[in-house]
Amino acid sequence: MASQLQPSTTGAEAEVRRRIQATGPITFAEFMAVALYWPDSGYYAGGSPIGAAGDFFTAPHAHPAFGALIARYLQSAWDAMGSPTPFWAVELGAGTGRLAADVVAAAGETDPRFAAALRYVGVDVRQPAPGTGVEWLLAERPAIRRVRGVMLANELLDAMPVHRVAMAEGRLVELHVGNGTDGRLEEVEGAAAPALAERLAELGVTLGEGRKAEINLGLGEWMRRAADALEDGYLLLVDYGHNAADYYAPSRPHGTLRCYYKHTLSMDPYRHVGRQDISAHVELTTLRREAESAGFATAGEASQADFLSNLGFDAYRAELAARPGLAMGVRRANLTAMDSLVDPQGMGGFRVLAFTKKNNSSAALPGFVAAPGLPKGEAPLLGPGHMPRPGAEEPAMPSWDELMR
């Protein structure tokens, strides 16, 4: 039996322990769902975990050029669909609302017609930061139908609960979560659900002895829900991930599970339960298969670096580098932050995938091909909701090698 909980134990951890005591060890997917999403005390149900005061950064917090270029992608989709009004942009897992605010601001500065048609809705389990200025839906999934426009998700799928498996003495086992003799949560080997072995067989994957790996059995349902919500338009996904052969390669003997706490990287999900981020890379081969099974057609795929460059990143950067009147520190901070978006050893290596429904499969949207012309207006500058400006203490971020190995 577990030892008495410490006063600092979160409600999420208490719920995990309650379930274990009631039924025995639980799957890692169940543990991860509680740790991240348990009401009031799960990691994503509490305060903002993103930014300098949180545990990690995402591209929208690195520099507003990311949102401005996403706005350009949305406008190209609007054009390809015949300029409908209203044109919906539904962001799933909208977090603090930083991307939403940057997209709406950029749309308003470049094309009044598009800005008037755009209806941006953020969907998340928590309230956005003050002053976001967009519509918001508090929900785990889009309680919305007949969307004509774009549904998008930036670094969302990596936070979906995953099952963990291992190869032990020649057989596939599932790693559950139980109470150890010292009262700490620990891994417990159990029988693997048939669906886990079936997934690996479908991918032609055989794990080596002692290998651990993650399997996301929820991708199919997630894609079906997205397809049900989107009547006509595009699904745009940005995340870090790999094709199956690379995802399950021998070079990743411990899998891809990563935890972030106060900008510190670890692989121990059983500490700081409810207070640290837990994520796993996205297995892209299954993602594409599930998208097609749900009724989507592939509309494009690129690295984030190529995607942003095709949308006009280089023109934005050149304009900012040559803009007169900027203080040297402001210019340097903005250029450094912009460069982080396309760094191939960092966020530039993320994958961007687009899927489409209805009559849009033949439209070659900018982002996956070079956009005609250049972005209108000046590149946006770092604001209060972005990374620290000159003089602020820089958090110690994990390197890309640490993240991806």
Each residue of 340-387: pLDDT tens digit?
999 999 999 999 999 998 766 556 789 999 887 878 789 999 998 786
Residue bearing the bigger pLDDT, 269 or 388? 269
pLDDT of residue 85: 97
Taking the C-alpha atoms of residue 203 and residue 198, their distance in angstroms, rounded to an integer, is: 9
* Class of residue 388 by CB neighbours under 10 A (exposed 0-12, middle 13-18, buried 19+): middle
Q: Are strands 163-168 and 212-215 parallel, antiparallel or unpaired?
A: antiparallel
Nearest one of 80, 103, 59 to 305, comparing CA atoms: 59
pLDDT of residue 302: 97
Taking the C-alpha atoms of residue 169 and residue 32, their distance in angstroms, rounded to an integer, is: 26
The CB density around residue 24, as the number of other CB atoms within 10 Å, is 12
Contacts of 355 (CB under 8 A, 6+ apart): 234, 235, 237, 291, 296, 297, 298, 299
pLDDT of 326 over the 60 cut? yes
pLDDT of residue 361: 52
pLDDT of residue 359: 64
pLDDT of residue 362: 56
Burial 358-377 (b: 16+ CB within 10 A, else e): eebeebebbbbeebeeebee
Alpha-carbon distances, residue 120 vs 52, 71, 84, 92 (angstroms): 26, 11, 14, 11
pLDDT digits (tens, 9 = 90+) for 153-167: 999 999 999 999 999
Taking the C-alpha atoms of residue 231 and residue 207, their distance in angstroms, rounded to an integer, is: 39
Taking the C-alpha atoms of residue 6 and residue 18, their distance in angstroms, rounded to an integer, is: 14
Contacts of 319 (CB under 8 A, 6+ apart): 378, 379
pLDDT of residue 376: 75
Residues 80-102, mean pLDDT to the nearest whole number: 94
Lowest-confidence pick of 3-17, 216-230, 320-334: 3-17
pLDDT of residue 396: 45
Alpha-carbon distances, residue 10 vs 2, 89, 258 (angstroms): 15, 35, 20
136 has which bridge partners?
Answer: 122
Q: Which domains does the chain show, CATH number per domain?
A: 11-404 (3.40.50.12710)
The CB density around residue 255, as the number of other CB atoms within 10 Å, is 22
Nearest one of 294, 341, 298 to 316, comparing CA atoms: 341
